[in-house]
Structure 1
Amino acid sequence: MRTSSGPAFETTILVRDTCLCLHAQRAARALARRFDDALKPVGITNGQFSLLMSLNRPRPPNLGSVAALLVMDRTTLTANLKPLQRRRLVETMADPKDKRARLLRLTPAGRAVLAEATPIWRHHHMEIEKDLSNPDRLRLELNILSRSDSHNGAAR
């Protein structure tokens, strides 16, 4: 039944069954819950694990490059950094080449948490991949979507 104020119920079913955004959101939430539960003993969330891992580089990255890697705006990244900074897992420092810019660096405590979390991540990641018919293809297609999103201005 269709009302004059909205789409037909059939459209709702179509969106439920075919919407890539909806399916990606549902999968992302399910994966996030699995990794959040797995990483709880280390005291970090899956998002914090990804953020800490993005800082695990030979040279400290700047805020913009981390935001671009995580396809996250700077404001959201800054908010996500705050609890890690309070726990002294991450520190910021002035960029010696540009005093206005800030560099991000893992502290020894941050490296220790990451070292403890990595085997947990590896184990759960391998278990999840076993359920997928072609995890490499899925990664490729998700990366295509991520890149197209950043080209549309989402990762400013």
Structure 2
Amino acid sequence: MKTENQNKKSSVCNCLNLRRASLAITEIYDHYLAPSQLSVSQFSILKHIRAIEPVSVSALAAEIRLDRTTLVRNLKPLEQQGLIHDIAQPGTRNRQLCLTAAGKEKIELAHVYWQQAQERIEAQLGLEDTKILQELLLKIEVLEP
């Protein structure tokens, strides 16, 4: 594996480099979260719901900073698995999402695996570079066109 990594070169395109890095990080988290049967995206959605429940889909999308349509698509499997439910009054348009007991249990289980992924990345990058990465990503996130 080292030889393969040593042969990789950065692109002159920042966008391509960020996409490649994002895929690599997502792969690490998904690998560690696999025993929980959640992807890192699903885990993040559940954690955000738990933090601000009950929450509308629009408010959740804004909090996660994810396109509403993408979020709705990602909510369906979580509802089908019985991890979240809508507590809004029947007939109302504005859904109010909460975790079910199974959803709360799933987060507790998955959090252990998520923490292992965090530790793996910090071990590979080092604590100082991890902090620098987080600062740079925040700067990138707020860039304006």
Q: Could you say which structure has the higher helix fraction?
A: 2
CA separation of 1:35/1:91 partners in 2, compared to 1, >3 Å: closer, same or farther?
same
2:12 pairs, out of 12, 18, 41, with 18
> In 2, Cα distance between the equivalents of 1:49 and 1:119?
12
Query: Counterparts in 2 of 1:68-87, with a 5 A limit?
Result: 68-87=62-81
Any unmatched runs of 5+ in structure 2?
1-9
Q: Could you say which structure has the higher strand fraction?
A: 1
> In 2, Cα distance between the equivalents of 1:60 and 1:136?
32
1:116 pairs, out of 88, 106, 109, with 109
Query: Counterparts in 2 of 1:136-155, with a 5 A limit?
Result: 136-148=131-143
Q: What TM-score results when the alignment is normalised by the length of structure 2?
A: 0.81
2:41 pairs, out of 36, 47, 55, with 47
Structure possessing the higher radius of gyration over alpha carbons: 1
> In 2, Cα distance between the equivalents of 1:112 and 1:89?
9
Q: What TM-score results when the alignment is normalised by the length of structure 1?
A: 0.76
- Which residue number in structure 2 is paired with residue 101 of structure 1? 94
- Report how many aligned residue pairs link the two structures: 132
Per-residue CA shift, 1:24-83, capped at 9, x if unaligned? 111111111111121111111111111111111253222122212322111110010000
Q: Give percent identity, aligned residues only.
A: 32
> In 1, Cα distance between the equivalents of 2:32 and 2:63?
23
Q: Is the 8 A contact 1:89 1:110 kept in 2?
A: yes
Aligned residue type for 2:98: R
Give the secondary structure class of the aligned counterpart of 1:131: helix
